[in-house]
Every structure is written in C-alpha cells, then in structure tokens.
Amino acid sequence: MTVLVLEGYHGGVLQKLRKSRAKIGSMIRLTLKSGEVFEGTLIPRSEYSDPTHIVLKMKNGYNVGISLDRTEKLEVIGEGEKPHFTKPSPPANHAGLPKVAIVSTGGTIASRVDYRTGAVQPALTAADLASVVPELSSIAEIDTHILFSEYSENIGPTHWKGMAEEVAKKIANGAEGVVISHGTDTLHYTAAALSFALANIPVPVLLVGAQRSSDRPSSDAASNLTGAVALAAHADMATVGVAMHRDLSDHIIVAHQGTRVRKCHTSRRDAFKSINSNPLASYDLKTGQIELSKGIAKRDKSRKLALKSRFDQHAYLIKFYPGMNPGIIDSAVSTGARGIVLEGTGLGHVSGHLFDSVKKALKREVPVFMTSQTIWGRVDMNVYNTGRDLLNLGVTPLEDMIAETAIVKLMWVAAQTKSAGKIREMMLQPIAGEITSRTLVEAS
Amino acid sequence: MNPEALDVALTMSMLLHAKPMDEVHVMRKVVIDGSNTTGFQRTAVIALNGSITVEGVEVPIEQVTVEEDSGRKTGDTKTSVIFRIDRLGVPLIEVSTGPVIHDPEQAGKVAFAIGRILRATKKVKRGLGSIRQDLNVSIKNGALIEVKGVQELELVSKAVGYEVQRQLALLEIKDELRQRNVKASDIKEEFVDITDILSDSESKIVQSALNQGGVALALELPSFKGLLKRELTPNVRLGTEMAKRAVFWGRVGGIFHSDELPAYGIDSNHVEEVAKKLGCGDLDGFVIVADSLENSKDGLRAVVGRAREAVERVPEETRAANPDGTTVYLRPRPGAARMYPETDVPPVQISQDRLERLWENLPRMPEELAKELGTKHSLSPKLATQLVDSDYLPLFEEIVAQARGVAPSFVATILTESLRSLQREQVPVENVQEDQLKQAFELVSKGATAKESVLDVLKWLAFHPDGVAEEAVDMLNLRMLTESDLQNIISKVVESNQALVQENGVKALGRMMNLVMGEVRGRADPRQVTELLRTRLEQVKA
C-alpha cells in the first residue's frame, strides 16, 4: 500500500486541504474559532470515515481528530518527510543451504510500519523478508514470488489452480520445498485443494499465515514463516501441509496434513488443529529441532509430480440446522449440482422433513454425501433410525473426512469424471490422506 | 472503546477544564516488557489544555488520556517475568500536568487535588494502586526523568525530593570526573577475561557462572575510584545505577565494582590481581561481571554506556519507585516513535449531545459534596471532608441506606478515622472487603452486636480475610445477650455482692452497674442493663 496524496479525505475537508496544498505528512497548523491552536503532521483517514474531521499527529505521537466546523484557519507550516523505507541490503548467501521458494498470495506476512503515519508497507522481496525475518537466510536459500494479493476469503478454485501450477514450476526449477503465504481464513480449503491437485509430490509444500498481523509486536507471522521455511527446507517429508503455531507460546510450529486441518478459532495463534489425525511434523523455534510423525511420506526428488488442478464449482456444502428449508437442497439440484455434501448433526443425521428433497436429488443422479458438523469424529449412520433411513435413501457417509475437505474434494472429483457413480467411488477412495478407516484415540 | 470509560474520562476532562477532542483516535504504544500481551498499550487523547487551581496557583493540565492498564508484575526469575493479567485491559485515565510544579511539596499537593477530583466522579476503584502517580522530574543541567508507579500520595513529594538529590549528586560526580580530566572516550569497550584469577574465589555468583561454562570479565573505569560507592540517594550508588543497566541489557544477576571490594567472596588478592591485569592506576576503578560470555559482554557494554554518561550528563531514563521513595533504573525513555495507529478501533466522534448530557450530570466537586453530606447526614465538616477524600464515599452511602438505625456519623467515623488508626497499629485493614464492612454494620442494625463491637469485628476480619462478620462476632464473643442471659448474669453479680446490695439498695446502682458492664460490655445495651439492674435492686430492697 502506498500513501496516496490525501488518502481517506473527502468532501469539504478534502477541498480545504487541497486549497492549502497540504499533503499527507505535511506539518499543519489549525487555528480554531475558539482560539485554540493545534500543530501536527497530517495523517491519512480510513476510507469510511466522515468528511468533516482532520487528523493530526501531535509532537508527542498521539493522533487527534479536529472538526473542520470548529476550524478558523488551516495553514501548512512545513513539508513533512515522505514516508520512506530504506531498502535493506541483500541477505548474505550461506553456501549449500537448500532452496526454498516462498510464493505470496496475500496477507502481509511481513511488513514494515511507518511510525509517523501508520502506513503499512509489505515486505515481500527476498531482501525485504531477510531483513524483517533475518533467521530465514541461515535456514534456506530463499526465492520469493508474489503470485497475487488477495484476502483469503476471496480465494477460490481459479486461485487454487494458479497456485498449483506455480508450485509445479518451482519444483521443476529445483526447489526443495515450497512455502505459500496465505490469509488464514480459507487457508485450510486451499491446503485441501493443493493436496488433491499436486499428486505424487516429491517435496513438502507448506501453507503459512499469521493470526496476528505483522504490525503487532504479538505477531506470529515471523515465527510461523520461520517454522514453515525450516520444515520445507529440512523436514524429510513430501506432503501439502499447513504450518502454524502448536499452542499459545512462540515455541513450536507444527505442520498439519493439508486435508486434515481446520481453522478452529477466530484469533488464537493455535487456531489451526489437525482433525482426526496428528500433525505431520514440528519445528522447535528455540533449538531448531525437527520432529516427524511416523509413517509420513518422505522426500524423493525422483518422484514425478502429476498436476491435476481443475475444479468444478457445481458442488455444494449444505449445513443442516433445525427448521431448515428443504428448498435449499432443491435449489442446489436445480442449479446443476454434480454432488452435495451435507454437514449433518452428530453421527450424520438430518431431519426427516428433508428426506423428500434428498430423495429427489439422488433420483436426479446427484450424489449426496454425509459429514458431521461436530468437526471431530467419524460419521456412523447405522446407529440410529434416521441414519439407516438416509443410508437406505442412498446417502453416502464420508467416514472421518471433515466437511471443508469433503467439499473441496467433491469440486476436484467432479472435474475428473462425468459419472455420478465414479464421483461416489472416488469420494470414498483415499487420495491425499483425507479419509481413513481407523482413527486413533490420541488424534481426536 | 468502552463508552463508560470514555464518559468518565470526558467528565474528568470537564472537571479539569480541559477541552475534549472532536474525534478520539486510539493509538498503539509499544510496550514490550511483557506487561501487555499484545505488545502494545492502547491509548487515546480525550482532552487537552485544562487547568486546576491548587492553593491559589494555576496548574495547567496538558492532556487527559484513556489507556488500558497493563498486567501487574508479580515476580521474576533470571530469564522470565511473571505477570498477573487480571488488571490488564481495565480502562485507566491518565492526567498529565504541565511542567510547572517547582517543588516536591507542591507536587504532592497537586497529586492530592487531582485525586480528589477523580474521586468526585465516584468511579475510582478503591485500593492501593488504583490511583498511581508517574512523576516527570527535571532540574537545571539535569535530565527529564520519568518515575513510574508511585502508589501512595505521601510518597510523591519524597520521590521528587530524592530524584532532585540524585540528579544533583550525579552532576557533582560529573564535575569531579571532569576535574580528574576524564573524557567519555577514555572509557574503552575493552573487556578482560579474569576467569583464571577468580576461579578460586568463594563468590557463589562467580562459581555458579563458571560451573555453567561462563566467564568472569572485567572492565577498567579510569579515574572512577571512590565515585562508584558515592551515594546518590539512600542505598543507591553510582555502582547501583551501573548494575541495573547491566541487569537490564545483559541479563546478568549483577556486577561487582572495585569500591565495594574486597567482599562477597572476592578477596584482596583477587582485587589486586585484577587491578594489575587491567593496568589500573591509583585513581582507577573497575567492574566485574560473571555470567555466560554473551551476557557478560552485553552487561559490561551497558556499564560502559552508563560510565560514559556519568562523564557527560544525567541520562534520560524511566525509573521505578521503591516503597521508600528512592528509584531504580527501569528502561530507557521512549520517544513518540513508539506510537502508531490502532486500526482495530475506529475513531470515536464526540457528539455535542454527549458533551451536553455529561455536562448536565457533572458530579459535584469535593467541597460541595462535603457540605451536602454534612447537612444530609449531620456530619461535622471535618468528618464530611475526610469521607469525601477517602475511597469509601460510595460505600458509606450504601451502608447508610441499608443499615437502618446506625448513625451516619458513626459509619463515617469508622470508615475514616477508625480504620486509619487500626492501620497505624499495623492491622492490615486493606484486607477487609467492602462486603465485610457492610456485614459488620448490618449486624449492628439488626441488633446482633453492639456498635462498640464494630471495630473489633473489623480487626478480626483484617486478620481473617476469608471470614464473615457473623463469624467474627461469635469468635470474639460479641453477640448481644438475650434478656434472660442478662438476667442470669445480673443475678450472679447481685449474689456475689450481697453485702453491698443489702446495705445500699438502689443506691448501689452505680457501683453494681460497673460490675455488670465489666461482664457484658459489647454484648448488651447499657440502658437495658441499667433498667434491669434497677428493677432487681428494688426487688432486693423490698
């Protein structure tokens, strides 16, 4: 984000500032009708703020807003320095370190704040990153690339495709690991998508985000990035995963399997949890030690990556709730659904008043799958009558697959085959660790 | 932003004649000592340019801000600090005066005056630390020093006085160093490894450092001899100042300086050898640190910095107040650069309607309040003022409303004078909770105990913070006697004083009264005792 000439000001205030030739960063003196005088640096306003106040940063560092209505005179008494960032010197190359590619998709994982105006400047080049997170240069040889810059809630199947293709390119160019920085809200959907799109992967691909933006001292951006790069460079694994804090302390960064992870908290650093599984690997920020779980896929650069990056968006995830209008299912079917994932209650139930709509969907060759909104656990539709009724209708239970992974998988599967029967078959087939027949107690 | 906090701050601002901002912008002030889990403290200017008059002198109020309180440090180890976070995020109002207070005594008076106005809002929490004073002290040729955490009003003038004394002493040291022809550049960042020399010392600090693979390093301080032990304020020496810096920057446990040696297991041979190895002359001093190599170096680097400052000036610092009013180095003084906008909280516009509403509901100022209380509850002017100046006014009003039949002047006396005298007797009255105070008066109101017992009950509760007033009454045997209990006691006393009663009849009432009251004091109403006793004596006569 660059500082525009009079960012955030509009209406009367904007005109007044223009007339006085004031710029963001100018030293301004406001004389009020009451005789009070304010001096300070002109500060940008947020885009939704009203058009009647001027914001000044006073000498002691505080910002205050002064109403134009009370202002008698506005003078520019000095030109402030433009916010500038001295480019850090390029990182020293440590010979022999593994190459790690960092692909940025949005969310400023690293940034600098201009303390005078509060403007945030993203740090995304290798040199910037190295100066903000100097630890990186001693862990890996970093190559950075800005693929796009999107809030994670705006990321979808086209972005997944772009990311998968970019990762393939980086691996082809010799990266020993790829790190993708990504906003956290939909990080786990992207992780699932890449898990399916990147088959037979030879090296680790880790998505990383920050629960607290990097303009806060409590930010987890640098530590998550450090952990992700370290695991991508050195962990003997070859899976798509999500690297984030294990708990509240800046101590351990864990890599969760991409198809098994979910954001489970709005703001905590340890928001990401492995569901029905254990993390794949951990990195100790203090000692640099890496620990791997048993039985995970190992690196093998001779493995040939198979890219299957198409997704069909005619897939629906419908969460059941008491009193739900069955028309939701009907309307999904009528818009050309290739499949529907239900997020049912408990062991995998929906109310009897939805049965007709479910029946209609199945009759029109739209497979209906069942997951559970309890998040943890496995669906079992043989326990209660409702479950047995749904099974009898032809609903397919998805075992211990989490709903978010199920919908991403359905989009991916629907792009691989035309046949409803094949879709049903592939949904139950383990492709990237998303579904297992056995869940360990310690993983739930 | 919490609307009530903003209202209280705006109310305060009006009472201090400060001008509210049109739009309040919340800032983040970087604080990385761990006391704020976010790493910053949110703070916003509410009003500027006020003033109050203290004893005829106008004192400018530069700024009123609302901040969030930080976590309270409850302990530390060498590598960690422990905070309690129950106070974290609680709204806090900061009132800054202009730099116009000229002597320590005036500082105390201004702090007292501001405290009274704060209390007038009745929103101030009771207890130590709910009003704290940060003092900015500067003297001619000295430096601006911020003293944090002065919790008691009585300490303000003392802390200011000590700070002036400290700066004067530092200026004296500076002059002396100049006379000895020392320049800042003479103090070299050259650390000499003296692990060999100290390896046989009996110092526990040295031994524990060496056992953990650490080193002992020494630094020469040319021409500092005798100055390191120079007392700046009681128990704070130039050497102490250096030590605190070394602790802060070097994470070391402390330093040894030549003016305090030989001691602490370092004997005169060690001292001689170290001096020799450093090449010290007669007027030269030195400092020793024992810790890991990295910590030792960082620690000594901080000592070099402080020593160079000793030659040049009084350094600007943020210091923490000790309970005796002296201060220790806390951290360097931060500048405006640590402030940046809090983007999670939108700016709050202060509407004219809001200001008018607050203006119409302004609390009365302390003098007015005292007068009104005096009339309403028949309190003496002195007692009413004491009550207004105490933390207990809201509680007083609650108790008076609830505890029927208990005289307001009695409640006021207990809450002000009596509690204070208990405190003087070293009774920990701060342990007594508001609920317990209410219970005590409630018991009087119900007739369960005599009002003379209240103080004993409170005293008991001070030592039994988890107890309730009912319990205290029983434990102290202060429960009111029933009429039949009383009759029994009277009978016993009459029986054992047959001669007196027989001889004097009703005329013995005075003396008999003393005897009975000796038994039942605090557990019976004297009027009732008189009546019962009189009837009994009349019967005897008959």
Q: Which residues of B touch A58 (CB under 8 A)?
A: 45
Residue in B closest to A59 by C-alpha: B336
Residue B46, pLDDT above cutoff 60: yes
Residue A1, pLDDT above cutoff 50: no
The answer to whether residue A55 neighbours chain B at the CB level (below 8 Å) is yes
pTM of the model: 0.77
Query: For A152-234, where are the alpha helices, taking DSSP H only?
Result: 157-172, 187-197, 221-234
Q: State the average pLDDT for chain A.
A: 90
Facing B38 at nearest CB: one of A66, A113, A216: A216
3-state secondary structure (DSSP) of residue A319: strand
What domains are defined for chain A?
A: 11-78 (2.30.30.520), 99-307 (3.40.50.1170), 315-428 (3.40.50.40)
Greater confidence (B372 vs A317) lies with A317
> How near does any CA of chain A get to the CA of B153, in Å?
27
Last residue of a domain, one of B475, B496, B524: B475
Would you call B21 and A65 a contact, using CB atoms and an 8 Å cutoff? yes
Mean pLDDT, residues A92-102 taken together: 84
End-to-end CA distance of chain B: 80
Lowest mean pLDDT, pick from A63-72, A195-204, B338-347: B338-347
Rg, chain B, Cα only? 32
Greater confidence (B38 vs A357) lies with A357
Query: pLDDT (tens digit, 9 = 90+) per residue, A301-318?
Result: 999 999 999 999 999 999
What is the reported pLDDT for B518? 85
Q: In a mutagenesis test of the A interface, which of B22, B27, B35, B41 is the best target, namely the one with the most A β-carbons within 10 Å?
A: B22
What is the reported pLDDT for A197? 98
Tell me, what CATH number does B284's domain have? Answer: 3.30.1360.30
Last residue of a domain, one of B448, B475, B502: B475
3-state secondary structure (DSSP) of residue B3: helix
Query: Is B66 inside any structural domain?
Result: yes
What is the reported pLDDT for A266? 95
**Residues B190, B284 within the same domain:** yes
What is the reported pLDDT for B469? 87
Question: With pLDDT > 70 as the criterion, what percentage of chain A qualifies?
Answer: 91
Residue A254, pLDDT above cutoff 90: yes
The answer to whether residue A85 neighbours chain B at the CB level (below 8 Å) is no
> How near does any CA of chain A get to the CA of B336, in Å?
4
The answer to whether residue A66 neighbours chain B at the CB level (below 8 Å) is yes
Residue in B closest to A115 by C-alpha: B340
Residue A10, pLDDT above cutoff 90: no
State the CB neighbour count (10 A cutoff) for residue A211.
Answer: 21
H/E element, B66 = strand B57-68
Question: With pLDDT > 90 as the criterion, what percentage of chain B qualifies?
Answer: 43
Q: Please state, in angstroms and as integers, the Cα–Cα distance from residue B513 to each residue in A228, A430, B218, B523, following that order.
A: 88, 97, 80, 14
Facing B339 at nearest CB: one of A61, A70, A215: A61
Query: Is B119 inside any structural domain?
Result: yes
Predicted confidence band at A234 (pLDDT cuts at 50, 70, 90)?
Answer: very high
Phi-psi region of B279 (alpha: psi -120 to 50; beta: other; left: phi over 0): left
Contact of B68 with B39, CB cutoff 8 Å: no
Q: State the average pLDDT for chain B.
A: 89
Would you call B49 and A36 a contact, using CB atoms and an 8 Å cutoff? yes
Q: How far, in Å, CA of B209 to CA of B215, rounded?
A: 7
**Residues B490, B442 within the same domain:** no
Would you call B65 and A62 a contact, using CB atoms and an 8 Å cutoff? yes
Q: Please state, in angstroms and as integers, the Cα–Cα distance from residue B497 to each residue in B492, B507, B515, following that order.
A: 9, 14, 10
Residue A3, pLDDT above cutoff 50: no
Predicted confidence band at B447 (pLDDT cuts at 50, 70, 90)?
Answer: confident
Would you call A55 and B346 a contact, using CB atoms and an 8 Å cutoff? no
**Residues B21, B133 within the same domain:** yes
Query: Is B223 inside any structural domain?
Result: yes
The answer to whether residue A118 neighbours chain B at the CB level (below 8 Å) is yes
The token pair that represents B436 in the structure block: 């317990």
Mean pLDDT, residues A247-266 taken together: 96
Residue A372, pLDDT above cutoff 90: yes
Domain assignment of residue B373, given as a range: 366-475
Query: Is B353 inside any structural domain?
Result: no
**Residues B54, B84 within the same domain:** yes
Q: Which residues of A touch B346 (CB under 8 A)?
A: 46, 49
Would you call A61 and B37 a contact, using CB atoms and an 8 Å cutoff? no
What is the reported pLDDT for A2? 41
Last residue of a domain, one of B341, B358, B388: B341
**Residues B418, B462 within the same domain:** yes
Phi-psi region of B183 (alpha: psi -120 to 50; beta: other; left: phi over 0): beta
Nearest in space to A257 (alpha carbons), one of A436, A437, A108, A441: A436
What is the reported pLDDT for B135? 86
Query: Is B323 inside any structural domain?
Result: no
Facing B23 at nearest CB: one of A34, A36, A53: A53
Mean pLDDT, residues A37-66 taken together: 89
Q: How far, in Å, CA of B461 to CA of A339, rounded?
A: 71
Would you call B32 and A218 a contact, using CB atoms and an 8 Å cutoff? no
Q: State how many domains chain B has.
A: 4
Query: pLDDT (tens digit, 9 = 90+) per residue, A12-32?
Result: 899 899 988 898 889 999 999
**Residues B488, B454 within the same domain:** no
Query: pLDDT (tens digit, 9 = 90+) per residue, B205-228?
Result: 899 999 999 999 999 999 999 999
Longest dimension (CA), chain A: 82
The answer to whether residue B213 neighbours chain A at the CB level (below 8 Å) is no
The answer to whether residue B49 neighbours chain A at the CB level (below 8 Å) is yes
**Residues B7, B121 within the same domain:** yes
**Residues B72, B14 within the same domain:** yes
Q: What is the ipTM of this complex?
A: 0.85
Query: Is B149 inside any structural domain?
Result: no
The answer to whether residue A174 neighbours chain B at the CB level (below 8 Å) is no
Mean pLDDT, residues B382-409 taken together: 87
Highest mean pLDDT (candidates A277-291, B144-158, B238-252, B403-417): A277-291
- Catalytic positions of A, please? 108, 184-185, 263
> Residues 6 or more apart from B398 whose CB is under 8 A from it?
B438
Q: How far, in Å, CA of B528 to CA of A145, rounded?
A: 94
**Residues B407, B508 within the same domain:** no
**Residues B447, B492 within the same domain:** no
Residue A278, pLDDT above cutoff 90: yes
Greater confidence (B331 vs A241) lies with A241
CA atoms within 13 A on the CB side of A360: 15
Query: Is B327 inside any structural domain?
Result: no
Residue in A closest to B22 by C-alpha: A66
What is the reported pLDDT for A212? 87
Q: How far, in Å, CA of A222 to CA of A210, rounded?
A: 8
Residue A87, pLDDT above cutoff 70: no
The answer to whether residue A286 neighbours chain B at the CB level (below 8 Å) is no
Query: Is B355 inside any structural domain?
Result: no
Phi-psi region of B458 (alpha: psi -120 to 50; beta: other; left: phi over 0): alpha
**Residues B500, B459 within the same domain:** no
Would you call B22 and A217 a contact, using CB atoms and an 8 Å cutoff? no
Highest mean pLDDT (candidates A127-141, B108-122, B223-237): B223-237
Predicted confidence band at B119 (pLDDT cuts at 50, 70, 90)?
Answer: confident
**Residues B11, B140 within the same domain:** yes
What is the reported pLDDT for A357? 98
Residue A209, pLDDT above cutoff 80: yes
The token pair that represents B107 in the structure block: 């500082």
